[in-house]
Amino acid sequence: MQEEIRSAFERSDVLESIRLMDKHFGTNNYSLWHLFRDEQRKAIDEILQSTYQEIETAYHQIYENHYPLFNFLYWLHIPLPKSFRVAAEHTISTELRKIFEKDDADGERLKSLVEDVRKWDIQIDRVLIQFVFSLWVSGQIEKLTGGAEDLPRMKRVQDALESMDQLLETPNLWKAQNLYFSMKENVYGTMLGRAEKGEGFAKDWVESFRQLGNGLRIRVS
> Is the residue at 205 inside a domain?
yes
> Is the residue at 181 inside a domain?
yes
Contacts of 148 (CB under 8 A, 6+ apart): 183, 187, 191, 205
> Is the residue at 16 inside a domain?
no
Q: How many domains does the chain have?
A: 1
CB 74 within 8 A of CB 119: yes
Residue 149 has what pLDDT?
A: 83
* CA gap 52, 48 in Å, rounded: 6
> Is the residue at 96 inside a domain?
yes
> Is the residue at 177 inside a domain?
yes
Q: What is the pLDDT of residues 198-220, one digit of tens each?
A: 999 999 999 999 999 999 988 87
> Is the residue at 4 inside a domain?
no
In DSSP notation, 44-98 reads HHHHHHHHHHHHHHHHHHHHHHTHHHHHHHHHTT-PPPHHHHHHHHHHHHHHHHH
pTM to 2 decimal places: 0.75
> Is the residue at 31 inside a domain?
no
The domain of 195 spans: 53-215
Q: What is the pLDDT of residues 22-71, one digit of tens each?
A: 665 655 555 544 445 665 566 566 666 677 778 888 999 999 999 999 99
Residue 146 pLDDT class (50, 70, 90 cuts): confident
